[in-house]
Each structure stands twice: as C-alpha cells, then as structure tokens.
Amino acid sequence: MALIVQKYGGTSVGSPERIKAVADLIIKRKRQGHRLLVVVSAMGDTTDDLIKLAKSVSPSPEPREMDMLLATGEQQSIALLAMAINAKGEHAMSMTGPQVGIITDSRHGKARIIGIKPARLRQALGKVGIVIVAGFQGESKGEEITTLGRGGSDLTAVALAASLKADACEFYKDVHGVLTTDPRIVPEARTMPHVTYDEMLEMASLGSQVLNARSVEYAKRYRVPLIVRSSFEDGPQTLITEEEKGMEKVLVRGITYSKSDAKVTVLGVQDQPGVASRLFRALASADLNVDMIVQDVSESGVTNISFTLARGDLAKTLESVKAAASQVGAEDVQADENVGKVSIVGVGMRTHSGVAAAMFEALAQAGINIEMISTSEIKISCVIARDKVEEAVRVLHRRFRLEQASVELGKPFILEAEEPGRVKGSKPAKKPAKVKKTKKRR
C-alpha cells in the first residue's frame, strides 16, 4: 500500500463547501488503496485575519504569542476536515505539528525544522489510514509552539514525506500545476508536465508563487517527487523531479517575472579593493538582501556599481548605502523605483547555445531596453522598465513557442502501473531519508 502525502492550501479549504469537496477528493484517493497523510493550511485568509486581530490589540505582539495565535488557524482546518471525512463514512484523525513530532529551532515566526519524530504519526496512520496534519507549525526543544514562516505548510508536507519515505507528495492548489507563465498575462500559458527541482527552485526565487522555495530545496535534497495539481477540477498536472533523459530537449521551460524591484546605482567610486565590500557589508549588516549586482568597466580608475533589490526595502537600503557611499568617496547614489525583471528558465540552456541571443533579439524587436542582465546555468534574467514587464513576458512566451508544446492531460497520478511504491519517472529515494537538518537559506 502506497503512502501518499497530500497538501491542500488555504483557498482549497476556504469554506465549509470547499472542505467537503476536499474530503471527497481524499476519500476517493484512499479508496484507490492508499494510506494518506494530508497536510492543510488555514482556511482562506485566516492567517492574515489573525495577524490583523493581533495588531488590533497590540502594536508589536511578542513573537511567541503570535505563534500561539497563528497556529490556531491550521488547528481549525484540520479538525473540520477530519470531521467532514468522518461524516462521509471514512475514518480520519487530525494532529497538530507538535503531535506529529515536528521539532524546530526556537525562532518564532520563522522557525526551521531540525528533526522529525514520526513514531506517533506512524501509529496513527496504521490505525486510521487518513491522518490530517496541521501545516506551518512545530514545537521547539523547549516545547514552545513555533511557526515556519508564511507559506510554510508546503514545507511541512515535504518534510513529512521525506521523513516517512512517502511515495509521492501531491500539492492541491487553485491552479492546474505549474504553468509556463502567468495566465493572467498570457492566456495561452500551459501546464508544464515535467519540471526539474532546479528549474522549480529558479522559478520560485524569480517570482513563481506556486511552491515555496524552501520546500522545493527540501524535496530536492531528499528526492521527494512532487506533483502539483488543481483541487478544484481535474486537469493537467506537473511532476517535479530530478533531471531525466530528454528533459533538456525543451530549451526554455518557463518564464517568470517580478514587478516589485528597484535599482540603486552608486556613481563614481574608486576601482580598488575594498569598495564593493564596504558597500555591501553595510547592507548585510542592516539585514538587507540584494539581487543582481553589476559593476561597470572603469574609466581612469573610477567606476559605477548598480544593484537591484525588493522595492519594499528601498528606503532602508538607501539609508545604509548613502552612508557607506560617502565613506568610500562615491560621487552620488541614484535610485530607480520603476524597474522589473523578466526571466527565462530551462535546463536545455546548459547544452544549447543561442538562447540568450534569442531572448535579447525578441526584446529588442519589441523595443524593450535591457538595463541589467544576470545568468545562471539554467536561467537568464533581464532588468527592464516595470511598465514593459508584461509585454516582455508575452513576447518571450511567443518567441520560445511555449504555448505550442503538447499538454499532457493529467489523469490523477497512477502509482500502481509502476514499480511498486515509486512514482513514474522518479529515482528511488536516498537511503537515509530521516530528516535531520534543513538546508541553509540561500
């Protein structure tokens, strides 16, 4: 009997009707002969509402009390879902993060999983066959309730799947898997049938909201095959695994974008050792993250350094940068709030040339100016004016013919047809799938 981990997000369980619909999906899967471990988020906007509630009684609630409060959101949805399943004649049981043995460090609001003790969960699974687990929460060694950061339920699902060596981890979302790009911009965007962990990681960090990046890292580390599909209707789905033969045949897998960047340029700094380090040390000390960094070729020993960052951090960043810039004798600091980023991602780039040229040509033909470029083995990102971002996405989607590849219309994933216990196309899990430590944040 296969063990399947499923994860349902907030919108999937956003109302009593939705909870009952999800109960039906779970029961259907159970009756195919599987054991199910189901992780859920809080209903709808519950987490946001709880945050507002806290702010209405205190200007700066203590992180410990915040976790105490936020953890109740998931506790509601697991109990309701278990009740709904039981009312339909199956047997389910709900469990909190602490009850299933998710041990975290003690950083309230952004705790990291440091271990899992799944004995009680195993027992429950043996007894009832459907266990509903609260996502997003755990318990510190000091037995305090902690939460894993926004979107953390995805991580709960992957970590439990790794710890129990589950056969698959299925994410039920309000979209049909992972799409080639945002369908609000390109209506022809289609579901990508198969994506590598690395591509998914790039897309998650470049703006795709489908899966939380930490959970994809975790899945890659423990080789947990991920499936993303809709909880609202049947349709295509996306399988996320390690790279397999043939996957590099697709040049560009997907296009992501962001419209919330800003660009800062430090003008007229000396081109000598120590300048960049002082500028960026100042930002690091203020806990500010930068994205792309570009240093111009210097003319008579003087150069400019530009970088991008999240627009929300611009005010704080300028404060730190201006102080550091005057220390290193820079001429001026300029900021541009109106930039965005468009990126193409695909493992095929590693083995094919001409992808960058094609991207730049397509943007040029549309009259879109590229302000900065950064690349990795499997992605190319361009910083452009924010009001050109959507057009750039459309132009590139067309250029790489992403609307044309054939869609694999998804039946629910069939495990039985394959080697018992493994998902089609995935490699066997690494032996010690016991979760010890989470990877350092990138």
Closest contact distance (angstroms) between CB of 292 and ligand ASP is 27
Interface with Mg ion includes 10 (CB under 5 A)? yes
- Nearest by Cα to 9 from 220, 215, 246, 172: 172
Closest contact distance (angstroms) between CB of 153 and Mg ion is 7
Q: How many CA atoms does the CB half-sphere of 89 hold within 13 Å? A: 3
Structural contact between residues 81 and 94, judged by C-beta atoms closer than 8 angstroms: yes
Give whole-number Cα distances, 238 to 10, 196, 228, 230, 335, in Å: 20, 10, 5, 10, 39
Structural contact between residues 146 and 138, judged by C-beta atoms closer than 8 angstroms: yes
The residue written with tokens 């687990």 in the block is 133
The backbone torsions φ and ψ at residue 419, rounded to the nearest 5 degrees and listed phi first, read: -50, 130
**Partner in contact with 150, chosen from ligand ASP, Mg ion, none, beta carbon below 5 to 8 Å by kind:** ligand ASP
In one-letter notation, the amino acid at residue 349 is: M
Closest contact distance (angstroms) between CB of 112 and Mg ion is 19
Closest contact distance (angstroms) between CB of 70 and ligand ASP is 7
Q: Which of residues 240-259 bind ligand ASP (CB under 6 A)?
A: none
Q: Please say which residue, 7 or 35, places its beta carbon nearer to ligand ASP.
A: 7
Minimal CB distance residue for Mg ion: 10
Interface with ligand ASP includes 41 (CB under 6 A)? yes
Interface with Mg ion includes 14 (CB under 5 A)? no
Cα–Cα dist 5/35, whole Å: 9
Q: Please say which residue, 47 or 147, places its beta carbon nearer to Mg ion.
A: 47
Closest contact distance (angstroms) between CB of 325 and ligand ASP is 37
Q: Please say which residue, 66 or 380, places its beta carbon nearer to ligand ASP.
A: 66
Structural contact between residues 97 and 136, judged by C-beta atoms closer than 8 angstroms: yes
Residues 6+ apart with CB under 8 A from 203: 178, 195, 210, 254, 256, 345
Among 3, 10, 215, 241, which residue sits at the site for ligand ASP (rule: CB under 6 A)?
10
Q: Please say which residue, 151 or 346, places its beta carbon nearer to ligand ASP.
A: 151
247 secondary structure, DSSP code: G
Q: Please say which residue, 150 or 394, places its beta carbon nearer to Mg ion.
A: 150
Q: Which of residues 120-159 bind ligand ASP (CB under 6 A)?
A: 135-136, 150-153
Query: Which residues on adjacent β-strands are paired with residue 227?
Result: 170, 239
Interface with ligand ASP includes 44 (CB under 6 A)? no
Q: Please say which residue, 41 or 308, places its beta carbon nearer to ligand ASP.
A: 41
Q: Please say which residue, 12 or 191, places its beta carbon nearer to ligand ASP.
A: 12
Q: Please say which residue, 149 or 421, places its beta carbon nearer to ligand ASP.
A: 149
**Partner in contact with 152, chosen from Mg ion, ligand ASP, none, beta carbon below 5 to 8 Å by kind:** ligand ASP
Helix (H) or strand (E) holding 85: helix 63-87
Interface with Mg ion includes 41 (CB under 5 A)? yes
**Partner in contact with 64, chosen from Mg ion, ligand ASP, none, beta carbon below 5 to 8 Å by kind:** none
Structural contact between residues 255 and 203, judged by C-beta atoms closer than 8 angstroms: no
Q: Please say which residue, 10 or 207, places its beta carbon nearer to ligand ASP.
A: 10
Q: Which of residues 65-84 bind ligand ASP (CB under 6 A)?
A: 73
Closest contact distance (angstroms) between CB of 19 and ligand ASP is 15
Cα–Cα dist 39/136, whole Å: 9
For Cα atoms 415, 213, 70, give the angle at the middle one, nearest 5 degrees: 100
Interface with Mg ion includes 215 (CB under 5 A)? no
For Cα atoms 17, 23, 28, give the angle at the middle one, nearest 5 degrees: 130
Q: With CB under 5 A as the contact rule, which of the stretches 8-16, 139-147, 303-311, 324-332 interacts with Mg ion?
A: 8-16
Cα–Cα dist 388/391, whole Å: 5
Phi-psi domain of 268 (left: phi exceeds 0; alpha: psi -120 through 50; beta: other):
left
Closest contact distance (angstroms) between CB of 155 and ligand ASP is 8
Q: Count residues contacting ligand ASP (CB under 6 A)?
A: 12
| Residues that bind ligand ASP in the complex, under the rule CB under 6 A | 9-10, 41-42, 47, 73, 135-136, 150-153
Residues in contact with Mg ion by the rule CB under 5 A: 10, 41, 47
